[in-house]
Every structure is written in structure tokens, then in C-alpha cells.
Structure 1
Amino acid sequence: MTFDFTKIRKTSSSFELQTWDPEGVIFYGDTDPQEDWFMLGLRDGRPEIQMHNRLAQLTVGAGPRLDDGRWHQLVPALDGCLRRDSWLDQQAQASVSTLSSSLRSCSVESQPGTFFPPGARAEFSLRDLPQPHAEPWAFSLDLGLQLAAGSGRLLALGSPENPPWLSLQLQDQKVILSSASGPPLHLPLVLGPHLQLKLTTSGVILSQGPEKEILALPLLGPGSLLNLWGQPQGRLFLGALPGEAALASFCLDGLWAQGQKLDMDQALSRSQNIWTHSCPRSLGNDTNTTH
């Protein structure tokens, strides 16, 4: 590809990458191959940038491995706000002002966390999560709910093409744990203490502080929940399921699998309107759009 710099009107680029190759050049560009060039590539599966010009010579490598055969976007969104900004010239100022009108109001007071507005969803592959203990088999999920409103799904375990095997929903200030078979369990919602789901071969334990409920499930045998970990399509869903209309909005101060905190930026896919590293201090009408 060849670009005429005098005709460029956009200063950003994006693309998705799929590769099994741990090392190589993704793209290279220069205005002078001896003095002014830029390279983006992979080294040991991780992104590396090399830049060389009269003002700087640097090599930087960072980020997760990308050589897993999946599609990855190389422009991760930053969850943040700007103020007191001055951009280039008046034409650029007008363009920025027009764009920001479609984003959420940065006047909303925020705190650390992860915010799911109504209908937002994220999806993790079970193979990318810390794996269950083998003997005895056990897997745990912890949610730190800071704020919650409305009714809808908080999380589910299953696969994209089938109804979820296990689901945790918010309804009427209660948390409801349900499975593909058997009656659901209800637990009054208390903000603050972590909600914990512990899966064992004998069933599922839902607890929050001293409150505990046990859901008996056939976790062993063909088609069981335990076998999800052996399927390439096994998923942890957060928020609404694909194609599902949900009215719940909630903030998490963290999500832990097997005691390890999950990074929302590492999700297999997620809605763009999720605030990955911040939460509003209260759930109002101005917290439902992109951050």
C-alpha cells in the first residue's frame, strides 16, 4: 500500500489481525528508509513497535500474545475523559465538539470499576480463564457489585448456540441463580460484599457474606456444565446474552475467576459502551451511552 501524505485527512488507523505466527512484520512504512521509518510487528507473539527518525530511535514491546489464531483488534479503546483541551486549529475544534456530543457526559462523577449499561455484554472463552482445580474439581467466580438497577442478566455459563447452563440474574433487588433444570434460588441483593459462585461436582454454591444457597446440579455426565471446559465454544457471558434485550445496569469493582481478577480489555468480545475501568457514582439517565 502507498499513501500520499498530502491527501491524508485522518490521523488514525485500525484493523484486525489473525495469525498463528509468533514473529514477523505486520507493516512497515517510511519517508526515508535510512532516516525515517516505522515498523509494527510481532516478537514472541507480542506486539512490538520500532521507530527511527532524527528525533527518536526506540523499540517497544508490550501486550498479550496475539499468535493464537483469533481475530484481535490492535487499537484498544481507552476508558477516560479529557478536559481543558485545545486541538490544532478551529476546524479541528469543531470536529471534536461534534464527535463528543455522541459520547456520555464527562460531567458524571466516576469511581474505579466496570460499568455495564442496559443491554451491554462481554464474552470470555472458558479456555482463557484460570482453569478449575482438578482434584476435587472446583471453580469459583466472585463479583463485586457496587451499583445495580433494573432487571436482567448479570452472568451466564454456556455456549453461544445453546441456552445457558447456569445463569445469574438481577430482579426486584434479588439475585436469582438458575440452571437448565431445576428450580431457581433467590438471594436478597446486598451491595458491598462479594457475590460468590462456587461450582463443584455436587452442585453450585451461591453466597454473599453469611448468606448461602446451594443448587444441586448434575455436573458430571454427558452434556453437563462441567463439560463446558472441554468445549472450544465454552463461554462466560457477562450482562445480556447475544440478541437479548436486558434492562439491568450494574457496576463491578472487580470480577475474579479462581481468585484472579479479570481484565475487561481481554474479553473475547464486548459491547463498546462498557466503561472498562470506571463506574458512575450513581445510576442516572446520562450513564447509558458510550464512555
Structure 2
Amino acid sequence: MYFPSLFLLLCVSLAQLSQEAVNGHGVKNKHTSGKGLLNLGFKSPLMHTKANLSDITNIKSSFEFRTLDPEGVLLYGDTQGGVEWFVLALRGGLPEMQIGKGDAIAIVTGGPRLNDGRWHQVQLRSEGRLVVLEVGGAPVLMVGLHSQHAVEHTMGQIRLSLGGLLVQELELFRPIQPQMDGCIRAGNWLNHNLTWETDLGEKGRLCLAEIQRGSFFPGTGLAAFNTSDFPVHQTNSSFITIEMEGPLAEWSGTALIILSSQYDPVLTITAQNRSKELKVLFHEHAVSVSEPLAKLSLSLSRYMVKIDLDNRIIRELYDDTHDWLARWHEGMVLAFGGVPENTNDIAADNGSGYLHGCVRQIRIQGREVDLDHALYKHSSVSSHSCPTSVGLLDP
């Protein structure tokens, strides 16, 4: 079967076009102090910097941080080009620190839950062989590591990055999803006047004054999965459920599309906020719903799709030309927020077919879908946060 290669090619093409869209502004690298308001979610890593160890007199950094994302990297640092390293991240909403030194790795997780959408004052400092994490002025975590084979270095360089890892092949004690949908401000890094480097140009993602839970699609990109990543046989079910929570009446654009391995549309859902209309197209059948409410649910069986709005059955559509459950198992493209159909259309980046709106929650077989685990996600899509008033951000 050639589909996995086809899907991989699709994701690589989308990623290249996304990067070209960023670089198309004519800005290769931008330098900043790292003290202002920064959104970590646009790129991984967002920024990076380096300094001579001989110039650093105090290993202490502080910043304010806000997120609704339960998992991702905040700060990474290393010396000797990654031989010795440190990571501050969130896992399950809790702070986690990992240290690698020589042949040893240490990890500690705990403290207060930080993915509550509020601003938190965070400080990291080194006390000899210990690293201490403070939140709100109170110590919450401490980790230490000593290796008999490690050598203390006061020469060379120290590297830092925000929102991602600088060493791709870094093997953490517990692997973690690096992308972080969050914001940092008031950064003070190593008590040193560091210059950070980023290639985002002037069009990075904004840090909003107020946020709410959900995934925000600004009308410029999509997130794509392989349906085989959601195995149905594990639930002993004869149908597949896909649920999306609104407000559906505020959506505009393509909310969902399923494409076969031959790249033919199987099911498409589009919305229009001006007419308050939702359209579902399944093979050759079409359904239009006016005044859609808060929750859309699709049940896809072998030859039928059932459409529910707020737990009320709207329509049942039949098509016995294909076994859609078998095709789901084999692998199809499941895309939220747009149509990955024609790369030329995507390169135009006019956003005409992309979704603009907040999706409060996406569930497949009752399990919440995290867009950070998509095989491809456009950098403009926020996985875990929406503006409280989407109408203020109309494209």
C-alpha cells in the first residue's frame, strides 16, 4: 500500500509551504532582547541564544508565564553542544525539570498546576549541583545530579532556547511533546544582557489579553492526521464518532474533511458565519443546517453517516459503494480547519477555504484530540487557547 508515503509527502509539502510563508516576508533572522511579550506556540523552538560561560556570574533566570497547554517545553539549556543539558517543561500541567550530565539523567515533576490560563512568576536558579524552581516566590521543585565522569566547565558556551529543544536527537529520560501553546513576558535570562535570535520576522502569533480553552483556527492553516492513528477495533465498536464543539454559528470555512488514500473527498463540513449555516457533504449526499448550535457529532459506519446537532439526529446518509470503516482502518487523511487538496491553493495562502473560529473541543471515539500530536499542524493554529471574543479577530 502506498498511502503512508503519500501522506508523508503531503505533510512534508505542507510543512515546507508553511516555512516558505514565514520566510516570504523577507526577514531571515531577527534579534531581540527576550524581555518582551512572546508567544511560544508559533515555532519550536521560538528563539535561541548563546553566551560565554566566562561572562556568566549568576546562573539565574526569571520570567512570567501563562498557558492552557498541559504539555510542552518552556526552556532548554546546554553546554558542550548538548553533552550536558537542562529542560524545564510542563507535563500534565505540572512543572518538570530534567538534567543530563555525562552518563546520568535526573528528572523531577511536581508543584502547582500551571496550565490554568493565569500568569505565573517563575524563577530558575542554580545552587551548586542543585537547580531550584520557584513559582510565585516559593520553591516548588529541586533537582540535583552528580556524575563521576562529568567535568565542571567554566569555559566554552552556554546555549538557551525557548519553546523547544536545540538538539533534535536529545534523548530525555521521559520523552515530551515540545510544542507549547503559551506566552512568556518580563524575561531576565542568566542576569545577563543576552541577544536572542529568531527567524519569525514581524508576523509572529499574538499573545492575547484574555484566553479560553479550545483550538483557534485563524483562517490560515489546518491540522492533519492519519485516520489509522485512531484505531476503532480497540473499542469493539461498529462505528466511528467524531465530535466538534462550537460555537458553530461563529465558524467560517472548512471545519473538517476526510480524504481517501486516492485523495478523493469522503466527507466535508463547511460553515458560514454570515448565513449561520452548516453544510455536510458525504460522497454525493449534501445536508444544510441553519442556525447550528454548540455541538456537532458524526457517526460513521460501514455505509452510513449519522449527523447529530446537540444530541439531536439531523440526518442519516447512506452510501453502499465503499466500506468506510475498512478505509478508516487502512488510513485516510483527517484534516481539521482546511482542505489539503491543492498545494498551489495552499501556497497562495489566501485563507479562503481555511476555518476561522474557535473549536472548543474535538473528540474521536469519546477521546479528546490534541492538535499538537497531528502529523502536520500549521504554525498559526493554537492547539489549546482561543481568544475570548473571536469576532474581534476577523481576518
Q: Shorter-normalised TM-score: what interval?
A: 0.5 to 0.7
Q: Structure 2: how far apart are the matches of 1:153 and 1:230?
A: 24
The match for 2:213 among 112, 115, 122 is 112
Residue pair 1:157, 1:235 contacting (<8 A) in 2 also: yes
Contact kept, 8 Å, 1:147 with 1:283, in 2: the verdict is no
Q: Deviation per CA, 1:167-194: give whole Å up to 9, x if none.
A: 1111221111112213x112234443x2
1:57 is the counterpart of 2:145: yes
Task: Please say if 1:251 is aligned against 2:349.
Answer: no
Map 1:65-214 onto structure 2 (within 5 A).
Answer: 76-87=178-189, 89=192, 92=195, 101-131=202-232, 137-146=238-247, 149=250, 151-159=252-260, 161-171=262-272, 172-182=275-285, 184-192=286-294, 194-209=295-310, 211-214=312-315
Determine if the alignment matches structure 1 residue 237 to structure 2 residue 301. Answer: no
* Counterpart-to-counterpart distance in 2, 1:279 and 1:214: 30
Aligned residue for 1:217? 318
Counterpart of 2:182, as a letter, is: G
Q: Distance in 1 between matches of 2:215 and 2:357?
A: 8
Distance 1:133 1:174 in 2: 35
SS in 2 for 1:166: strand
The answer as to whether partners of 1:177 and 1:185 remain within 8 angstroms in 2 is: yes
CA–CA distance in 2 between the matches of 1:139 and 1:82? 39
The alignment partner of 2:327 has SS state of helix
**Cα deviation 1:72-130 (Å, max 9, x = unaligned):** xx7x321111222335655627x68x968422332442111111111321111111114
Offset of residue 238 of structure 1: 0.6
Q: Residue 227 in 1 paired to residue 326 in 2?
A: yes
Map Cα deviations across residues 29-49 of structure 1 (whole Å, 9 max, x no partner): 9759xxx74599xxxxxxxx7
Would you say the 8 A contact 2:302–2:326 is kept in 1?
Answer: no
CA contact (8 A) 2:283 2:319 kept: no
Which secondary structure does the structure 1 equivalent of 2:328 belong to?
helix
Q: Provide TM-score, normalisation by structure 1.
A: 0.67
Decide whether aligned partners of structure 1 residues 284 and 105 sit closer, same or farther in structure 2, where only a CA change above 3 A counts. farther
Q: Report the RMSD for the aligned CA atoms in angstroms.
A: 3.8
Counterparts of 1:189 and 1:129, CA distance in 2: 31
Match of 2:212, as an amino acid? Q
Question: How far did residue 284 of structure 1 move?
Answer: 4.5
* Unpaired stretches in structure 1, ≥5 consecutive residues: 1-8, 13-28, 41-48, 65-73
Shift of residue 286, structure 1, vs aligned partner: 4.7
| Matched letter for residue 83 of structure 1 | R
* Counterpart-to-counterpart distance in 1, 2:353 and 2:244: 19
| SS of equivalent residue, structure 1 residue 85 | strand
Q: Aligned residues: percent identity?
A: 22
> TM-score scaled to structure 2, two decimals?
0.51
The separation in 2 between residues aligned to 1:102 and 1:180, in whole angstroms, is 38
Cα 1:237–1:78 change in 2 (3 A) is same
Residues 195 and 206 in structure 1, CA contact (< 8 A), matched pair in contact too: yes
Which sections of structure 2, spanning at least 5 residues, go unmatched? 1-46, 51-77, 88-97, 103-127, 130-143, 147-170, 346-351
Structure in which a larger fraction of residues adopt helix: 2
| TM-fit CA distance, 1:287 | 7.1
Change (3 A) 1:209 1:37: closer
1:216-275 deviation digits (Å, cap 9, x = unpaired): 2225x5x4433322434x121111112454153121121110101111111111111110
Distance in 2, Cα, partners of 1:175 & 1:207: 12
Alpha-carbon distance between aligned partners in 2 of 1:30 and 1:107, rounded to the nearest angstrom: 34
Identify if the C-alpha distance between structure 1 residues 30 and 196 changes in structure 2 by more than 3 Å, giving closer, same or farther.
Answer: same
CA, structure 1 residues 178+10, in 2 after alignment: closer, same or farther (shift >3 Å)?
A: closer
